[in-house]
Structure 1
Amino acid sequence: MRLLPNKLQLDILKRHVGPFVFCFCTLMFLLLMQFLILYIDMLIGKGLPLGVILELIVTNLASMVVLAVPMAVLVASLMAFGKITELNELTALRAAGVNPIQIISPVLVSAVLLSIFLMWFSNDILPDANQRARSLFIDIRLKKPGFDLKENEFYEGIDNYTFLVKKITNESDSLHNVTIYQHPTRDRKEAYIKAQNGRLESEQDGQTLTLFLNNGSVLRKLDRRQKGKLIDVFEETKFDRYRISFDLSDLAFSRSNPADRSRNDRTMNIQAMSSVVDSLRNQIENQREQIIENNRYIYPTLSNQNTGKKREPHLNRNRVDTTDIPYYSTYLALQHLQSKNEQQRLHDIALMKLRNYKSFVEDITQDTQWRLEKIAQYLVEIHKKFSIPIACIVFVLLGAPIGMYTKKGNLGYAALIGTVFLTFYWISIIQGEKMADRLFISPFTGMWISDIVLGLVGLILVISISTPFQLSKLWNSSD
């Protein structure tokens, strides 16, 4: 069994190197330009050292590599195999008894090795690079707090707050005509804050951001009970000066010890995310058992009720107070009580406990829903670390036969065809991630559907070009 490639296969591999390197560098340049266009306004006027800017660019290059490599593989396959067919070399090889699968196999093996490399890169290198890039962004933001705010645009860079500022004086970080929406959390109600002007300041510790507001009002939402029903009440308070402090300790930049900073799904490896998923699932299971085992809401009791005696409510003829005669109820528990007052008390207690139990279940349901969404987010990232590298294999299966069929090896045809398939692939990945995060589909489906579809198409095309089998024979035979 021959393990090393022959001269023909080595020649095929060499023809891929040039287009792959060219496409990879071009795509990296385009992705880098896109990054700079998006964040150039964040880097100008900050007085940042050149080394910090270069470090920010380098750390963001890691995520670009994961995207650019599969795209370069597809375009390189289209160009290399298209050039082979264009020069009639494929016809000569077939005449010499060489099957096209022998030409594709060394490129396919190289794609497998490249996929393994990308899996390692995505799991071991990319999370740390994303964490460094995230820390640098936060460090830049704290250097000049009003930096991310833009005039007449909603800003949600700080958790649980939405900002809208009409005018910003960049030199002094002064804000004019400020509107802030404070999102409701477990610790506070929602509120609407308006002020004529204000300013943002960063504390020396770099972990606290303080907003000073002047001449405004706060509209708070309060809960009030009226006739046993919970209603919404709004309270407005005027102020001359108002201060809000934002705790950024979880996101505080510490270049000396980055391991101490918190991480999210984009900055964790597979092992860490799997551990978080297991922990969340255990919490969900504990909550489920808590609902099943929590009986204190279900069984109402009367403290002065003697449950050891069996009482017949309708047989006591010595009762003087006829207004307290128990009424007949279809509920067995109420039939064993001797007075209407006891029945009413038990009814009220049972209703109160059921309402408390309903509130208890609703709280656990919301917590469970949040945990399920977090699990989905982590699973999406885990599957993504495999599905995108596997795309290298898929794109070889797809690009090789299509290049042979087109018989065009120039960059124009390869770029045009590659754009069609890459657009489909990345739209599927992006939309699949969004739908999986919202629990509409499973994380596996969201991340693998495009690989499966394009992989099947590629396999069919490879079989079609390497064997006498044709799909049209299936329809002809059925007729």
Structure 2
Amino acid sequence: MKKLHVFMLKSFSGPFVATFFISMFVLLMQMLWRYIDELVGKGLDFSVIAELLFYFSVSLIPMALPLAVLLSSIMTFGTLGENYELIALKSAGISLYRIMYPLIVFIIFLTIFAFFFSNNILPVANLKAGSLLYDIKRHKPELSFKEGVFTNDLEGYSIKIDKINKETGMMYNMLIYNHKTVPGNYEVTRADSGIMVSNPQDNVMELVLFHGRTYTDEGMKATNRRTFPFRRLKFDKQSLLIDLPGNELKRTDEDMFRSAIMLNLNQLKYTIDSLQKIVNDRKETDATRILSTGFEKSKVANVKKDSIFRVETRDWVVDVDSLFAEFDPEEQQRAVASGLEYARNVKATTQNSMSYTLKQEEQIRKNRIEWHKKFTLSFACFIFFFIGAPLGGIIRKGGLGMPVVVSVLLFIIYYVISMIGERSAREAVLSVWFGAWMSSIILLPLGVLLTYKSVTDSEVLNGEAYSNFIKKITGFFKRKKNG
């Protein structure tokens, strides 16, 4: 290995490692702040918190790598430019391409590693982090009440509280759905206020409710009756005892939490194919059902998939109005009511079927986006290097000053474009591949242009030219002000 290659790798490796851990720390703090309410006051062991932070850290590596590459490349070439080492190398007849060559090889291997990591390790980390976070949320759920939000962490109950007094612990305008006995909304309790009393030793939480009503639909219990009783209970004070889990954190089966971000390429492909088959089968079933509703009376000939239906016409046409006029008023009323009810049922069934199909298609798009993200996150390392290296030559500043500002600005632009593209793809505004790759498509030409101009020593990348231009403008306005 040439001395130049060793020199460049040493110059790059130090800033890369430092900026990687700095990026990881910043992203981890942001993630921790996001879930801080779920962790505080739960009495969790240090090992549980450390395990969660470890999974969070692993899941953030694909996001930290591109940022570290961008920041370290700007710092490396900025330091070389600031110390005039870059000029010395060029004056010795060494092109910028030869200077960048060892780093390009390193970035290629880093991109391959990032893809391998995103496909094999990241899904496992996301799965374990999601499972552990769910278990933490369900641990001591009496601490997870939030204003204006339904809390489903208490097994068998769904509770909504409009306002909570932080000082007294009094809760106001409470709505409680009891799913303990019968699944469904068959027992509902509304109370003006209430307070929570828990006994950790007995693993029981007591909700003391004041001034409310309990509504119970006992129709589910009366299966053999033609009438369905309904019971309403008014109370001034009522206690509701809810069983709590023990102090030890209970772990849930991880297979319950598998989603798109927790699958690798093969699993995503299998999931997409399965969902697509479900959608196709549902569309065929709906088409057959709609044609058999009775609204289409004509025979349909030569029906083919994805073809235009060709309907045979008869020589005679039934005059519905004259036929309807033959009925007496009572029969006409019954016919109209029956027809309206039938039409409403068909409409409701069709709308439900369309809603189901749209949800399945949205899931397909989400899985396809995650499939593409396995490649886009790793490819971002490659793009950011070819943006950061030329920019470092322009800035000619090392350290964590100007490089950090430029890197964060570029990364925010990349992140915003990625979010816009992914959201547009999920909502079917853009095609999935274009939405997932939109940030790369926009930033890749910028990296190619900057690298080309830097290799050819174009004036576009002359930092002193920009500095002199800014000085001329500020000097012009100063003379105007003084003169």
TM-score range relative to shorter protein: 0.7 to 0.9
Return the alpha-carbon distance in structure 1 between the equivalents of residues 324 and 211 of structure 2: 65
Distance 1:203 1:339, change over 3 A: farther
Distance 1:244 1:466, change over 3 A: farther
Cα pair 2:137 2:144 within 8 Å, conserved = yes
Return the alpha-carbon distance in structure 1 between the equivalents of residues 33 and 12 of structure 2: 31
Return the alpha-carbon distance in structure 1 between the equivalents of residues 37 and 422 of structure 2: 29
Equivalent in the alignment of 1:43: 39
**CA displacement 1:166-203 (0-9 Å, x = unmatched):** 236899xx762143497xxx966998944521549899
**Equivalent of 1:85 in 70, 81, 85:** 81
Cα pair 1:298 1:354 within 8 Å, conserved = no
Cα pair 1:377 1:437 within 8 Å, conserved = yes
Equivalent in the alignment of 1:401: 390
The residue type paired with residue 359 of structure 1 is: A
Q: Once the 2 structures are TM-superposed, how far is the Cα of residue 78 of structure 1 from its aligned partner?
A: 0.1
**Equivalent of 1:389 in 366, 369, 378:** 378
Cα pair 2:191 2:210 within 8 Å, conserved = no
Q: For residues 264-275 of structure 1, what are the structure 2 equivalents within 5 Å?
A: 264-275=259-270
Equivalent residue pairs, number:
415
Q: Which moved more, 1:343-352 or 1:65-74?
A: 343-352
Q: For residues 5-20 of structure 1, what are the structure 2 equivalents within 5 Å?
A: 6-20=2-16
**1:421 counterpart = 2:410:** yes
Q: Once the 2 structures are TM-superposed, how far is the Cα of residue 393 of structure 1 from its aligned partner?
A: 0.4
Return the alpha-carbon distance in structure 2 between the equivalents of residues 265 and 454 of structure 1: 26
Equivalent in the alignment of 2:25: 29
Return the alpha-carbon distance in structure 1 between the equivalents of residues 411 and 81 of structure 2: 23
The residue type paired with residue 65 of structure 1 is: I
Cα pair 1:300 1:346 within 8 Å, conserved = no
Q: Once the 2 structures are TM-superposed, how far is the Cα of residue 138 of structure 1 from its aligned partner?
A: 2.6
**1:167 counterpart = 2:168:** no
**1:56 counterpart = 2:52:** yes
Q: Once the 2 structures are TM-superposed, how far is the Cα of residue 260 of structure 1 from its aligned partner?
A: 4.1
Equivalent in the alignment of 1:261: 256
**Equivalent of 1:136 in 125, 129, 132:** 132
Cα pair 1:217 1:236 within 8 Å, conserved = no
**Gap runs ≥5 in structure 2:** 178-182, 218-229, 298-315, 462-483
Query: Could you say what the CA RMSD is over the residues aligned between the two structures, in angstroms?
Result: 4.3
Return the alpha-carbon distance in structure 2 between the equivalents of residues 144 and 43 of structure 1: 10
Return the alpha-carbon distance in structure 2 between the equivalents of residues 367 and 355 of structure 1: 18
Return the alpha-carbon distance in structure 2 between the equivalents of residues 445 and 209 of structure 1: 52
Q: Once the 2 structures are TM-superposed, how far is the Cα of residue 434 of structure 1 from its aligned partner?
A: 3.3
Q: Once the 2 structures are TM-superposed, how far is the Cα of residue 355 of structure 1 from its aligned partner?
A: 3.8
Q: For residues 435-446 of structure 1, what are the structure 2 equivalents within 5 Å?
A: 435-446=424-435
Q: Once the 2 structures are TM-superposed, how far is the Cα of residue 401 of structure 1 from its aligned partner?
A: 0.8
Q: For residues 79-478 of structure 1, what are the structure 2 equivalents within 5 Å?
A: 79-150=75-146, 152=147, 154=149, 163-167=160-164, 176-180=171-175, 193-197=190-194, 199=196, 215-217=211-213, 239-240=234-235, 255=251, 258-294=253-289, 295-299=291-295, 332=318, 334=320, 340-341=326-327, 353-467=342-456
Return the alpha-carbon distance in structure 1 between the equivalents of residues 136 and 74 of structure 2: 42
Q: Once the 2 structures are TM-superposed, how far is the Cα of residue 373 of structure 1 from its aligned partner?
A: 1.8
Return the alpha-carbon distance in structure 2 between the equivalents of residues 40 and 357 of structure 1: 48
Q: Secondary structure at the match of 2:93?
A: coil
Distance 1:180 1:429, change over 3 A: farther
Distance 1:432 1:20, change over 3 A: same
Q: Once the 2 structures are TM-superposed, how far is the Cα of residue 213 of structure 1 from its aligned partner?
A: 5.4
Cα pair 1:198 1:211 within 8 Å, conserved = yes
**CA displacement 1:377-421 (0-9 Å, x = unmatched):** 222222222212211101001001111122222321110111110
Return the alpha-carbon distance in structure 2 between the equivalents of residues 218 and 433 of structure 1: 45
**CA displacement 1:33-59 (0-9 Å, x = unmatched):** 334444445434332222112112111
Distance 1:167 1:455, change over 3 A: same
The residue type paired with residue 287 of structure 2 is: I
Distance 1:423 1:375, change over 3 A: same
Return the alpha-carbon distance in structure 1 between the equivalents of residues 47 and 253 of structure 2: 18
Return the alpha-carbon distance in structure 2 between the equivalents of residues 77 and 437 of structure 1: 33
Return the alpha-carbon distance in structure 1 between the equivalents of residues 412 and 152 of structure 2: 29
Cα pair 2:141 2:153 within 8 Å, conserved = no
Between the two proteins, what is the percent identity of the paired residues?
A: 29
Cα pair 1:297 1:356 within 8 Å, conserved = no
Distance 1:338 1:297, change over 3 A: closer
Q: Secondary structure at the match of 1:341?
A: coil
Return the alpha-carbon distance in structure 2 between the equivalents of residues 460 and 162 of structure 1: 57
TM-score, length-scaled by structure 2: 0.72
The residue type paired with residue 444 of structure 1 is: W
Distance 1:466 1:155, change over 3 A: farther
Return the alpha-carbon distance in structure 2 between the equivalents of residues 361 and 211 of structure 1: 43
Distance 1:350 1:40, change over 3 A: closer
Return the alpha-carbon distance in structure 1 between the equivalents of residues 197 and 110 of structure 2: 48
